[in-house]
Amino acid sequence: MRGLDLLDIVAQVGPIPLKALTDRIGLTRSTTHRLAAALVERNFLRLGVKGYELGAKLLQLDAVARTHLSLPTLARPYLEDLARLHGDAVNLAIREGGDIRYVDQVRGSRRVEIRSVIGERRPLASTGLGRAMLLDDGEAAWRAAFHDNPDRPGGVDAEVVWMGRMEIFKAQGAAFDVEENADKVRCVAAPIRGASGAVVAALSVSSVPQYMDDGRMAALVDPVRAAARAISIDLGWRPD
């Protein structure tokens, strides 16, 4: 465990000299040196001019992990839990340019349910999933996405309404689709982050209005955000 703690410190601070590493981990100099030397020997660390740095072994492990832990595989248990607990369809999507692409769905248990086509693409601004992926992008990107959506609403105030809603979505950390992408389809979506903190995907709970009124949409914000957060942590994101 102390060796793993040492790796975490180097990942956060490195390059870091032995004295600073010893002070941070709270062990004796000899113990810290022994742990670091063992990690250097196994290529988890390397000793550079300015101190200890992450080693090449971590790049190898990253490549293996990316091969065996694709996003749909990693996210699937969380999608299944949401569908089981709430009874509605749960979708997973990634961003491709100005579109989203559906990469997985777990069906719900309702008599009437929403189905998405895996591989289908939709404009970012037209879905709750796409809006969730836009939350970090800022006002200029929000406006661009609004105008790039061929199904955008008309009217002189449409853009103002869109921008106001995006501000609300950003503040709550989740986005809504209230029968805008498709007639009689509602969803609550939250962004998924990668190790860098950037948004890499989004998940949503979708249903028809008879099962998802405004009150239930508000109640779903916390569980949807919690699932997205858990997937993000599994992808290497650190909330702090």
Nearest residue to 128 via CA among 192, 59, 206: 206
Looking at the fold, whether 6 and 108 belong to one and the same domain comes out as no
Q: What pTM did the predictor assign? A: 0.72
Using DSSP's 3-state secondary structure scheme, residue 68 falls into: helix
Contact 118, 79 (CB under 8 A): no
Q: What is the pLDDT along the chain (240 residues), one digit of tens a residue?
A: 999 999 999 988 879 999 999 999 999 999 999 999 999 999 999 999 999 999 998 888 876 666 556 889 899 999 999 999 999 999 999 998 899 999 999 998 888 777 788 888 999 998 999 999 999 998 999 999 999 988 787 777 889 999 999 999 999 999 999 877 556 789 999 999 988 899 999 999 999 888 889 999 999 999 999 999 999 999 888 887
Q: Are strands 51-54 and 175-178 parallel, antiparallel or unpaired?
A: unpaired
- Residue 83: the pLDDT is 94
The last residue of one of the domains, among 65, 80, 111, is 65
For residue 163, give the CATH number of its domain. 3.30.450.40
Cross-sheet strand order for the sheet of 186-193: 121-123, 99-106, 89-96, 199-207, 186-193, 175-178
C-alpha atoms less than 13 angstroms from C-alpha of 195 in its C-beta half-sphere? 7
Looking at the fold, whether 26 and 128 belong to one and the same domain comes out as no
- Residue 69: the pLDDT is 61
- What's the sign of the alpha-carbon dihedral 78, 82, 83, 85? positive
Count of domains observed in the chain: 2
What residue numbers bound the domain in which 148 lies? 69-234
- Residue 112: the pLDDT is 78
For residue 50, give the CATH number of its domain. 1.10.10.10
In a domain, 170, yes or no: yes
- Residue 97: the pLDDT is 87
Looking at the fold, whether 82 and 133 belong to one and the same domain comes out as yes
In a domain, 94, yes or no: yes
